[in-house]
A and B are shown apart, each in its own frame.
Chain A
Amino acid sequence: MSSVDAVASGRSIRGREAGFFADLRSIAGRALRLVPRDKEALIPALVIPVFFFAVNIGQLQNVFEKQTGIDYKAFLLPLSIITTVSGVTRASALVTDIQGGYFDRLLLTPVRRITLLLGLMVADLLLVAALCVPVLALGFIVGVRCATGAPGLLVFIVIAALWGLACTGFPYALALKTGNPAVVNSSFLLFFPFTFLTTALVPEQALTPWFRAIAKVNPVTYILAGLRSLLVVGWAWGDLAQAMLAILIVAVVSITLAFKALNGRVKRK
């Protein structure tokens, strides 16, 4: 068949605007379809937290539990989840699209520009929620129990996924601003202070004063507290509200940066 036959047979078919939700579904669907083809980005996100979970428990469980009386595995599991979900994005794939010209092909279609980023973020949200499941499963295999039961577990995953989403804005902002894979790949460094300058390994009372002062302004401290409360304490609404507020603050900053960068990229300047 020639192109003429191809065009002629569907001659009456014309392009039209698909609509916001259809665009969003198309962009998110593509991003999710490509996830299994990008294993090298996913495997470290799963292996590294599991490795440190095992190492920290092996080294510190006895000392910690003797001192505090708290189940260290339950205390540590939220950190593993935070490490898993922080920085998992399709930002590297976005840079590949920009460099390879495919982003331009997308811009040539009537797709709503905002969905080019929002679709990726929706995919990220679903992906990080899915990534929580095997890490949580491992926690339960080694004996962690959830004080709030199945509903609490669901809330746990939602909080973790929303934190993951809040984190995606930074790498997307860098991807859209620079189009440089090296810059995007090094963006994980941003999450180090978030993840470790906090109550990552020991409770707040055990921190030195200067470290405690830093931890107090680190949003991850409040997210860890919220997640831990679900596993260890029960429905601690104050902790959960603080966790959501911390996520909201980071999300507003990072997602604003990302959409400003998108605006700059598509401005036809």
Chain B
Amino acid sequence: MADHDAAPAISARGLVRTFGDKRAVDGVDLAVAKGEIYGFLGPNGAGKSTVVRMLCTLLNPSEGSAAVAGYDVATQAEKVRLRIGVALQEAALDERQTGRELLHLQCRLYGLRPHEVEQRVADLAGLVDIGDALDRLISTYSGGMKRRLDLAAALVHNPEVLFLDEPTTGLDPVSRATVWDEVRALNTELGMTIFLTTQYLEEADELAHRVGIIDHGRIVAEDTPEALKRSIGSDVIIIETDTDCTQVEAAVRSVRGVEQVTAHGSEVTIMVNDGAAMISPVAVALHAANLHVRNLTLRTPTLDDVFLELTGGRIEEPER
């Protein structure tokens, strides 16, 4: 018999999902420990949501296997469903119900007894933090209120693993910060394992203990945010130019101390170990090559730089 308590919260091996000829997920391996916040970062269409839908039992893998809370997502889906909470990309709410009705129904579908339903709805009403609005139709809620109600609905049965699929997309900064606080608190104070997908680099950086970067259905890097950023150098010099990037690239490659150079659009990114010492030689090299530069910036690396380094593209963040 499998020891479900000793098993990792989430594990996947060679996970593949095809839609027709398209391999949306192309051999994903995962091991998320209990109590971890795992950030799944990637651009739109990279395969994040498809992985989540497989781990949450909404889709069967085409190949490979995955287990959540120690149970196989394909063959033991009922057991998985009892142990996970899910807030999908778009708040999946029935706007014709009131918040209270929705939470009541959610509790009943998880088999909670009447007194437990009352307790959970009362508890989670505090979380939703929308006062009397809990008895209003959900169609009257703001985007932030809907997200918070969605999160509350995912928590009615005290899940072991919480999946949050782009939980802050479309939220204003205040609502986003509130969701971040809740995620941190659920993890640090209750030890809840959280699998979080996001297109926001800052979100992955702020919240996740480890980050998996996914592109074209494959995980291209996985580590702590700090380690990922360290892996590309200590500093980044960004050159914005109106001239041909290949000329800029050629000019700065010859500078001693330059480690990696990547051109993307009208930007050239240089990874260096000592940015303060390198920025002058880079500026001199550009001047010597008679290349016009719009902006020359020195900063520490971000996860976007890691993504650029690994894939040659940038993550286009959605409008906030």
Contacts and interface: CB of A to CB of B under 8 A. Distances in A.
Given A1-B126, A34-B97, A111-B109, A269 B60 contact: yes
A66 interface: no
B60 A105 contact: no
Q: Which of B94, B119, B153 has the most CB of A within 10 A?
A: B94
B120 interface: yes
A42 to B, nearest CB: 14
A105 B158 contact: no
Contacts of B59: 268-269
A42 B176 CA distance: 40
A8 B109 CA distance: 21
B190 A6 contact: no
B81 A3 contact: no
Contacts, number: 144
Q: Which of A4, A8, A104 has the most CB of B within 10 A?
A: A4
B109 A110 contact: yes
Contact of A15 (B56, B157, B189): B157
Q: Which of A19, A22, A100, A268 has the most CB of B within 10 A?
A: A268
A17 B57 contact: no
A108 B56 contact: yes
A143 to B, nearest CB: 40
Contacts of A9: 119, 123
A97 interface: yes
Contact of A7 (B58, B91, B106, B158): B158
B82 interface: yes
Interface in B196-239: none
Interface residues of A, number: 42
Interface string B29-49: 000000000000000000000
Nearest to B189: A4
A11 B156 CA distance: 10
B130 interface: no
A5 B126 contact: yes
A104 B124 contact: no
A11 B189 CA distance: 12
B105 interface: yes
A10 interface: yes
A189 interface: no
Q: Which of A8, A22, A110 has the most CB of B within 10 A?
A: A110
Interface string B120-136: 10011011010000000
A191 B40 CA distance: 50
B182 interface: yes
A238 interface: no
Interface stretch (B110-118, B241-249, B287-295): B110-118
A268 B105 contact: no
Contacts of B84: 108
Interface of B: 56-60, 77-78, 81-84, 86, 88, 90-97, 101, 105-106, 108-112, 116, 119-120, 123-124, 126-127, 129, 137, 151-153, 155-159, 181-182, 185-186, 189-190, 192
Given A14-B82, A19-B111, A100-B92, 15 more contacts: A2-B127, A9-B123, A13-B112, A13-B119, A13-B120, A15-B83, A17-B82, A22-B111, A26-B108, A34-B96, A37-B96, A101-B88, A101-B91, A105-B86, A109-B109
- Nearest first, the 7 closest Cβ-Cβ pairs linking A and B are A1-B126, A15-B157, A101-B92, A15-B110, A16-B111, A18-B111, A105-B92
